[in-house]
Amino acid sequence: MKKNNKKEQTIQQEFILPIIVFIIICINAVIIVTISLCLKGPLIEKGIIQSLIAGTEVVIVGIVILITEKRIIKKEHPKCLEKCTGIIVDSQFELNESRSWAKYPTVKYEVDKKIYQIKSSIGINGILRSCIKKMTVYYNKENPSDAYTKNIVPELVASMFIITGIIVIIETIYMI
């Protein structure tokens, strides 16, 4: 009797929301095209309805990115709710998952007059290496050595989506 070596493929819970939103956005794209082809009127002909729907979808994508990132962090570090500012005391080049070199900083932080140190899992490349001297450290109040530094890239990407979507919505409303 052969053993089944295939691992069961399951979708992690934190990725269900983005998948659902992606499906909804695809359905909305079909709706936008259908509305454009079937209906007539000044709001349709000027593209106002389509722009409002598209702008709203872009904002929703940004919000979903933020929610997903927060869920992942909460799952990986459920007790690290307190934060403080840490100082980068050292950085070492290491090969990351994408097979490129990045500097991973060692961050020193203080909690209740006791000094702790962690190695950040966030690699810093390019000009950021010389600019960043401090990082926010999130730690467990009961065990301050249980800590992490947060990657700001998902928040920046989400912010760009949200701001772009809001600009499209405001500009579209202004066209009315």
Per-residue pLDDT of the chain (176 residues; tens, 9 = 90+): 444 544 455 556 667 777 888 888 788 778 777 776 777 777 677 778 778 888 988 999 999 899 888 888 888 889 998 999 999 888 777 776 666 677 788 899 999 999 999 988 777 765 555 667 888 899 999 999 999 988 778 888 999 999 999 999 999 888 77
CA dihedral 144, 150, 155, 157 (to 10 degrees): -170
pLDDT at residue number 139? 94
Do β-strands 114-119 and 82-95 pair in parallel, antiparallel, or remain unpaired?
unpaired
* Three-class DSSP category at 87: strand
Q: Where are the domains of the chain?
A: 13-76+155-175, 82-145
Residues 6+ apart with CB under 8 A from 51: 168, 169, 171, 172, 175
Which residue has 């997903």 as its token pair? 68
DSSP code at position 32: H
pLDDT at residue number 128? 58
pLDDT at residue number 62? 92
With residue 84 as reference, give the H or E element that holds it: strand 82-95
pTM of this structure = 0.67
pLDDT at residue number 1? 46
